[in-house]
Amino acid sequence: MSLVIGEALIDIVTASGGATTEYVGGSPLNVAVGLGRLGRPVEFVTRIGDDTRGRSILRHLEESGVSLASGSVTAERTATAHATLDSAGAATYEFDIEWDLPSPSGASSPTLVHTGSIAAVMEPGCDVVADMLDRRRSSATLSYDPNVRPVLITDRERARRRIEHLVAMSDIVKVSDEDLRWYDGDRDPVDIARDWLSRGPAMVAVTRGAEGAFAVCAAGLVEVAARPVEVVDTVGAGDAFMAGLLDGFWAHGFLGAESRAALHAIEPDELRNVLDNAVLTSGLTVARAGADLPTRDVLDRAAGVRQ
């Protein structure tokens, strides 16, 4: 079983022509939904309101096979993110969100715990999230995606320290080249990825949009090309990559604390297979409007065509 911790919200997407549509979103939610649609058992810890938008999120989770953790419907109102798309489908965001969580019970025993984005840096909830990960590291693989939202960060250096702490705690780290430019625009992404790898993770994957992705592990550097698709929009692209990445590690039997040594010793060919799964999952998502991540049937059919 997997546990995903983080924000759930409504994406209010305004296209370049001015038309506006609402979608269920939030980076950790998208990862949870992605895993659920791929048939992976997943519980989601979040904070939403008992309102129309919150109920939309509940239906979306149920339809995707995701279980909502008790105590998640506690917010006064459900958070929103207003995404404005340019002519190429790239999004910029404005947020209306407050982030807090009750203290963790520690009752569940997942083999995978994932978090990232706003939940990992926004106070006061980020401290609870870090505690939840720390409590489960003895039994679970930990994964993390910074998915930086600069508009919400008031103290850059404090946010950088939080990111570095979670990187060091995690086994699997995924980050975009855009995030790394925010983190340190003067350094090459490969150098930063290798620096992060030295802090503790088994691997660090870096997405580069249309240029594909690369990952570093103890055995070296692995690069994969992007899947050629006609991009509708990029909403959820990184989250889809993350879900595909975790699904790939799941398929190869690398999850759970008992597999930590094997994960750290992953071979380049195995890592390439996992990255291919992640790139394909992301490519299928950007070819559709909103963060509409693929089901297992859709992913398997696309993988068969690709092969």
Confidence of residue 197 (pLDDT cuts 50, 70, 90): very high
Average pLDDT, the chain: 93
The pLDDT assigned to 103 comes to 67
The SS3 assignment for 59 reads: helix
The least confident of 19-33, 102-116, 226-240, 267-281 is 102-116
pLDDT at residue 205 tops 80: yes
230-253 average pLDDT score: 92
Structure-model confidence comparison of residues 12 and 133, the more confident one? 133
pLDDT digits (tens, 9 = 90+) for 298-307: 999 998 854 4
Return all residues near 282 (Cβ < 8 A) that are at least 6 apart: 207, 227, 237, 238, 240, 241, 244
Q: Are strands 20-25 and 172-176 parallel, antiparallel or unpaired?
A: unpaired
**What distance in Å separates the CA atoms of residue 204 and residue 25, rounded to the nearest whole number?**
24
The pLDDT assigned to 307 comes to 44
Rama region for 117: left / alpha / beta (φ>0; ψ in -120 to 50; rest): left
Rama region for 220: left / alpha / beta (φ>0; ψ in -120 to 50; rest): left
137-142 average pLDDT score: 96
178-195 average pLDDT score: 97
251-272 average pLDDT score: 97
Confidence of residue 231 (pLDDT cuts 50, 70, 90): confident
**What distance in Å separates the CA atoms of residue 89 and residue 222, rounded to the nearest whole number?**
28
Domains defined for the chain, CATH in brackets? 2-306 (3.40.1190.20)
Structure-model confidence comparison of residues 288 and 16, the more confident one? 288
257-278 average pLDDT score: 97
**What distance in Å separates the CA atoms of residue 133 and residue 277, rounded to the nearest whole number?**
25
Which range, 83-92, 181-190, 232-241, has the best average confidence (pLDDT)?
Answer: 181-190
125-129 average pLDDT score: 94
Q: Give me the percent of the chain exceeding a pLDDT of 90.
A: 78
Structure-model confidence comparison of residues 87 and 180, the more confident one? 180
207-219 average pLDDT score: 95
The least confident of 83-92, 148-157, 166-175, 271-280 is 83-92
The pLDDT assigned to 234 comes to 78
Q: Which two three-digit tokens encode residue 194? A: 């290798």
Predicted structure pTM score: 0.93
Q: How many CA atoms lie within 13 A of 160 on its CB side?
A: 10
The pLDDT assigned to 94 comes to 86
117-121 average pLDDT score: 95
pLDDT at residue 147 tops 70: yes
Q: Which two three-digit tokens encode residue 169? A: 């705690």
**Max alpha carbon distance in the chain (Å)?**
51
**What distance in Å separates the CA atoms of residue 49 and residue 99, rounded to the nearest whole number?**
12
